[in-house]
Structure 1
Amino acid sequence: MTTVTLETCLANILIVLTLTTCTCGQRNPSDRSAMQGECSRFDYEHKLLERLVVMELAQKTVDEAERKLWVGITELQKELKNKSKEIADLNAAITQLRTDMNTGFTQLTSPVIFKVKKSPSVYISGSDVILFDNVETNVGGAFSVDHGFFKAPVAGTYSFALQVCCYPKTWVSYDIKVRGQQAGETRAGDNSFYDCSTEVTVHTLAVGNEVWVQHRDGNGVDKHWATFSGVLLNAANVAV
């Protein structure tokens, strides 16, 4: 069965109305008077139907435009939904990155470890900075043998340990200094025996913060080598 569209039906109606009007206009003069009323009625109906056809065609155009508009809106909504998911995924990635930066994972940073010793031959007096002349390990190169300072290469939490020992009937006291402030103290001494003292301290440092060991007082010289060590526990963004 052949499908006839609405536009074809409307066009056929216009053709019929046009032919009817033309027929009325082509009557003989003697017949026109009798047909005047009939032609006037046909003319009115023709114009009315013509307007209806035009309105129907216009409505069809509006309907088609509305359909295309809704198709476009639907596609836009799908695209916005996809973009929203992309933005949500990006925000989640940024949040995870911030968490990793704030928490700090040592695997994200090169390890920082050092252990140094001071031999008894290194002379100290007053409040000298202790120069540890023997390096056992210095991973990351953050400890300076020349100056006796450890300088934090990355921000994070560090642990430091200091041990000193002295002969009988002598005593000695060392301080751990963090950013110029006392952060720990070792004091060793005994009248009858060799004596040792150990101090462990944990601090959060910013990049470039310095840590060192400083002589406080005492009348003895280390029997065994004094040792100073440190390790980066975890890296984190900090401002100290």
Structure 2
Amino acid sequence: MARTHVYFCALFISTFSSVVLALEPVCPVCSKYDYEEKLLERVIRMEFTVEKIVKDNKAAVSDQINEGLDIVRRENAQLRELISEMSTNHTDYERQQSNKVEESLSSARASLDDAIQLTKAKETPFVLFHASNPKDTSPATGDTIVFSDIQTNEGLGYDDVTGKFTAPVSGLYMFFIQVCVYDKVYVNLQLVKEANVLIGSSYYHTQGHPCSSAQVFTRLVESESVWVYCVSGRDQAQLYHTTSARWTSFGGALVHI
């Protein structure tokens, strides 16, 4: 009987030590899931060990050892419940964290959408035109030079009937004129905005058909117009244009709103 008590005490101490060791994480930097898995593995291994001890010592098994074994099994069952509860708590925690992440992502997406919409609202519209080939090569003083060939007219600002560009939106614009002239003919043209001179240029050459250009930047309010104005007209041809080499033309673009 004394041997039985000693055996039971040894078994109980061994089992208690295994339980205590199982409750201590061996790797402080491991994840919670890793800790739970190792804990469960130790519990199962301990049960197998106890079963083997009982199987190998059937002759020495007594009621006290069976009672001790039942205690170990109950403790193992409690440990299993604890592990399951910990896993559930971790799942709830992860779900909470996942919800927080989703909320943050939704907020970030909303902010991004707002920024995109704001950027689009401030985006510079595509306004660009280029027209060439003056309808009248010998304009009179005060005439608007009308260009009949339209290469591009994005935004539909240029009117090839009036010869005027009318701003579809307010903003900063750049305009240019290129003028080719007949030799020994004086030409004086201006770019005007609502009858206000933006830039003026004179053209004259003794031979050939020289070309020259002028550029200007100006701000326009929506519906304001810009056109090419003839300062001094002539009865003879002044403006020269060929589609192959020399273009007398007028163009512009919206640079910034």
> Given the two structures, how large is their TM-score scaled by the length of structure 1?
0.50
- Report the alpha carbon displacement of residue 138 of structure 1 after superposing the two structures with TM: 4.1
- Report the alpha carbon displacement of residue 163 of structure 1 after superposing the two structures with TM: 2.1
Change (3 A) 1:138 1:194: closer
- Report the alpha carbon displacement of residue 175 of structure 1 after superposing the two structures with TM: 0.7
Aligned twin of 1:215: 230
Among residues 217, 232, 239, which one is paired with 2:253 in the alignment? 232
1:137-171 CA distance string (max 9 Å, x none): 24343221221111123455543221223334431
**Unmatched 5+ residue regions in structure 1?**
1-74
**Residue 92 (structure 1) aligned with residue 112 (structure 2):** yes
Aligned twin of 2:190: 175
For the aligned residue pairs, the C-alpha RMSD in angstroms reads: 3.8
How far apart, CA to CA, are the structure 2 residues paired with 1:113 and 1:229? 8
Contact 2:171–2:221 (8 Å) recurs in 1: yes
Contact 1:163–1:198 (8 Å) recurs in 2: yes
- SS of alignment partner, residue 137 of structure 1: strand
How far apart, CA to CA, are the structure 2 residues paired with 1:169 and 1:187? 13
Change (3 A) 1:101 1:121: same
1:179-206 CA distance string (max 9 Å, x none): 4432222210135665433112234544
How far apart, CA to CA, are the structure 1 residues paired with 2:194 and 2:122? 22
**Residue 118 (structure 1) aligned with residue 138 (structure 2):** no
- SS of alignment partner, residue 190 of structure 1: coil
Contact 1:161–1:199 (8 Å) recurs in 2: yes
Contact 1:186–1:197 (8 Å) recurs in 2: no
Matches within 5 A, 1:45-56: none
- SS of alignment partner, residue 130 of structure 1: coil
1:93-143 CA distance string (max 9 Å, x none): 222332344353x6xx4x633313214455422x222233x2242434322
Contact 2:191–2:198 (8 Å) recurs in 1: yes
How far apart, CA to CA, are the structure 2 residues paired with 1:232 and 1:190? 30
Matches within 5 A, 1:36-115: 82-104=102-124, 109=126, 112-115=128-131
1:17-48 CA distance string (max 9 Å, x none): xxxxxxxxxxxxxxxxxxxxxxxxxxxxxxxx
- SS of alignment partner, residue 240 of structure 2: coil
Which structure has more strand as a fraction of its residues?
Answer: 1
Contact 1:163–1:186 (8 Å) recurs in 2: no
Contact 2:192–2:229 (8 Å) recurs in 1: yes
Matches within 5 A, 1:122-133: 123-125=139-141, 127-132=142-147
Aligned twin of 2:163: 148
Query: Given residue 161 of structure 2, which amino acid in structure 1 is its aligned partner?
Result: D
Aligned twin of 1:135: 149
Query: Given residue 228 of structure 1, which amino acid in structure 2 is its aligned partner?
Result: S
Change (3 A) 1:155 1:80: farther
Larger-Rg structure: 1
